[in-house]
Structure 1
């Protein structure tokens, strides 16, 4: 009696303490020291994981570094890994349930029962004791439900399709990453080619501006002419400052994409490859089919349609009765039970009769999900085909704009040389030299911008066709191997080689 009273008091005390602790929970904000420590840990981990740049950074290495180290890409890879883990758990749900139970019971008084001979008979004096005050029981049993197996089977198929969807999203993220790297890389090339020229021209313009201000104050000329001169110089300086700002951010963007420190001092190498217009000579129908077969968005829509169909099958399976099989071995140390160890087998059938009312609605909703998935598939296919033609036209226009900008830049460069030579010979004013040099810089910048746009258009066309660098398990490979794989892919793209579909498939 005292013992049971002690256990009750202890259990009550623990419950009260637990509830009191939960009631006193308060939000705990992160301290600045914790934030700084976490930031340092992340920075140290990133610095240790990323290999330093040795020598000039090529386009192939920049793309390889982005594939191997870019943080957003790592998130996509981890999402795919988590999808694989969810599939593994779904496969375990197909197995029977093996339940192991153990329990202990105790009471402070005996379980006594009176006896009666029949429903209308009086109670026989005396009591019967048929259970001990405390007992330990164990139970090890298999349970398998046919209904749960059917639903788990289709749930596992859906998880498998979600793994494939995660892979397609990773591919799409890779397409966007390669496109961003190529665009930023060409901007950095322009910054290195034009940076020194921009700074020297700005210095020359500042010198000419000071000389004009001194001439204006001396009143040796009409005040209107120096003011016009200063206005033109200031306009040129404004444009040069805009160019400098445009070029200065490119290095930071490329460093962020390739997981390099923001203040990294690296140089780039201008690729020798030119704009390849052989992509425009391909049969548009073949490009359409390639995009429909290999585009990540198209594949994701197909997998979503399969998931919707499996969801409809799950609804149908849920309408069937549940049949469960069980088999187990049990034991107890209750001294009043004669057979303290025994095995037990059973079959149970159950059916939710009220589920008949909701079955038609659930089936109709599942069919609507399938129809919506099919319609999304049709819409995605039409969008992908449109993207192919738009990307093809954009690439053709970008290539034409680059060729035009390249010719203009060459003409302005020659004009700048002529004006600069005449200015040195004092046959032409310094204003004309600065203005022409500014025009030449702007033309060169537009040339590199047009080249960057053409490279970006080529990347969009390749992404629409579902082409990406073929690099398997880039995270675990050395950087030189990833660079080599990227180089082979870029060479294939430069050759405008469209992979053949299996079996010679065509529209």
Structure 2
């Protein structure tokens, strides 16, 4: 007996050692190597090419409508939001298949080291027969093709599908919110870039003039042709103007970079800006009854609509928890084949019906239901909190718009006054009735007034779009992937007065 078992033990030991070696080698390959600099450079180059793929170059001065259309079509963050919505749709398609019966095919090969021998028992004498019977081949193949339908899986898949459908709606609302923020940022960056383009030459010329006046003053100070204190005061005023001009210049330099990033244009490449007038008729927003604005916001606000869908997801979770407390009924039907030559019937059909119930669900089921109901209560509370936040932001956005319009009108008046003063000081300097300091100071004041005018204009645009976002009003455009940039720009331009929907009573 010991001699017969030794080869088997040796074979078993060898097999275990081989399995251990294979397991260790597999574990050693589980940790991927760190990426090399060449790999990172290759991925970066591929990403850079993908970012610029199919992006039309800017031809001619960029209008505000085209900037918004480019942002909607080419902005990388918006592309990610669209992909999230597409992924949610694909997940919905996959979830729907969970409700279908399972159709499975199996092919199995069995082999044993000795024959399967069975003996029989005489029920009258209780003796076991001395003759054994081989009831199965040492090696044989089994195959089957069967369909299984599980009623509980069908019910859970049904509610999963409903939940995933709501998640698709949630992804769409998140895309709407992202679009509102994107358009708001584009408006701000566009007017900053427009002011940079308008003020660039004036700032450079005034800086040059201030530096020349500063050099002349220092030369006169060294020659002691005037009171040193007066010269130093003169220089300090010039330096103060230079500091202000350089701060303005620094502010303007980043405007083009911000705009290029939003519309996915090459960074560092100059973008010519076509100055656009303030076109939105915000008088409708400020004159419309606040009750009407609240009604529109509660119906269309993207963030609030998202919370409505979250509440529906929580409600479906409660129904799933209740469904799991019911008995499970499953049905199966299959075609089977076994190559064993000792079988009389190698082919057969098999049908089964099974009813099962997990008695532990009597303990855990009620707790799961209570947990799901708590999730519903939390979703309802979040929706109510969001509703209050939306109404609060609506009132604040309306007040900010009124204030922004007032500030813009005041900035217009200040700029017109400073511009006239600057023109008069240039005339006085030309007839040598004024100093360079006066001209530099007045030119600086005019530049600062013009900058504030553009900033006030941008704030009007931002305030208007912030109110639009709270109301849930956005341009009605087609698919940004299917539309060309020209057609998309035309559609955005056609929606340049979004307040028209309020006038129409929508």
Please give the TM-score of this superposition, normalised by the length of structure 2. 0.95
Instruction: Note the C-alpha offset of 1:367.
Output: 1.1
The alignment covers a number of residue pairs equal to 498
**Structure 1 match to 2:434:** 428
The reply to whether residue 365 of structure 1 matches residue 371 of structure 2 is: yes
Question: How far is the alpha carbon of 1:17 from its aligned partner?
Answer: 5.0
Query: 1:46 and 1:354, CA in 2 relative to 1: closer, same or farther beyond 3 A?
Result: closer
DSSP-derived class of the 2:278 partner = coil
Q: Does 1:98 align with 2:103?
A: yes
Report what 1:36 is aligned to. 41
- The 3-state SS of whatever aligns with 1:248 is helix
Cα shift readout 1:325-367 (whole Å, capped 9, x = no counterpart):
1111111111111111111111101111122111221111111
Tell me the distance in 2 between the aligned counterparts of 1:14 and 1:85.
Answer: 43
What are the residue-to-residue correspondences of 1:149-298 with 2, within 5 Å?
Answer: 149-274=154-279, 276-278=281-283, 279-298=285-304
Q: Distance in 2 between matches of 1:499 and 1:95?
A: 47
Q: Which moved more, 1:120-129 or 1:85-94?
A: 120-129
Partners of 2:479 and 2:9 in 1: CA distance: 63
Partner secondary structure for residue 349 of structure 2? strand
Q: Which residue of 1 aligns with 2:3?
A: none
Give, in whole Å, the separation in 2 of the partners of 1:348 and 1:166. Answer: 40
Per the TM alignment, residue 186 of structure 1 is displaced from its structure 2 partner at its CA by 0.5
Other-structure match for 1:302: 308
> Considering only aligned residues, what root-mean-square deviation do their CA atoms show, in Å?
2.1
Q: Using the alignment, how far apart are the partners of 1:191 and 1:369 within structure 2?
A: 51
Tell me, yes or no, if structure 1 residue 489 matches structure 2 residue 495. Answer: yes
What's the counterpart of residue 398 of structure 2? 392
| 1:365/1:313 CA distance change after superposition, 3 Å | same
Q: Answer yes or no: is the 8 Å Cα contact 1:275–1:454 preserved in 2.
A: no
Query: Which of 334, 341, 347 does residue 347 from structure 2 map onto?
Result: 341
Cα distance, 1:9 vs structure 2:
10
User: 1:505 corresponds to which residue?
Assistant: none
Q: 2:301 touches 2:470 (CA, 8 Å); kept in 1? A: yes
Kept in 1: contact 2:279–2:496 (CA 8 A): no
1:476 aligned to 2:482?
yes
Per-residue CA distance 1:63-101 (angstroms, 9 max, x = gap): 001100100000000000000011001100010011111
Q: Which among 19, 24, 41 is matched to residue 20 of structure 1?
A: 24
Change (3 A) 1:417 1:104: same
Matched, 1:60 2:70: no
Tell me the secondary structure at the aligned position of residue 271 of structure 2.
Answer: coil
Q: Distance in 1 between matches of 2:219 and 2:125?
A: 129
CA shift for structure 1 position 197:
0.3
Aligned twin of 2:112: 107
**2:318 maps to which residue?**
312
Alignment match of 2:145 (pick from 140, 158, 170): 140
Structure 2 CA distance, aligned partners of 1:49 and 1:207?
Answer: 48
Structure 1 segments unaligned to the other structure (5+ residues): 502-507
* Cα deviation, residue 114, structure 1: 2.3
Distance in 2 between residues matched to 1:49 and 1:18, nearest whole Å = 48
Match of residue 4 from structure 2: none
The whole-number CA distance in structure 1 between the counterparts of 2:375 and 2:178 is: 27
| Distance change >3 Å, CA 301–CA 139, structure 1 → 2 | same
Residues of 2 paired with 1:115 and 1:426: CA distance?
A: 131
Which residue matches 1:355? 361
Aligned to 1:450: 456
Distance 1:294 1:498 in 2: 16
Aligned with 1:48 (options 32, 50, 53):
53
Q: What displacement does 1:13 show?
A: 7.8
- The unaligned stretches of length 5 or more in structure 2 are 1-7
In structure 2, what is the equivalent of residue 504 of structure 1? none
Partner of 2:386: 380
Is 1:78 matched up with 2:64?
A: no
How far apart are 1:498 and its partner, in Å?
5.0
| 2:101 is the alignment partner of 1:69 | no
Once residues 125 and 244 of structure 2 are traced to their aligned partners in structure 1, the CA distance between those partners, rounded to angstroms, is 110
The one-character-per-residue Cα deviations of 1:447-482 (angstroms, maximum 9, x if unpaired) are 110110110001101111111122221022211111
Check 1:23–1:415 CA distance in 2 against 1; reply closer, same or farther (3 A cut): same
- More moved, 250-259 vs 384-393: 384-393
2:260 touches 2:266 (CA, 8 Å); kept in 1?
yes
How far apart, CA to CA, are the structure 2 residues paired with 1:112 and 1:230? 113
8 Å contact kept, 2:279–2:497: no
Please, what TM-score do these two structures have when normalized by structure 1?
Answer: 0.94
Whether the aligned pair in 1 keeps the contact of 2:105 and 2:145 (CA below 8 Å) is yes
1 CA distance for matches of 2:140 and 2:70? Answer: 66
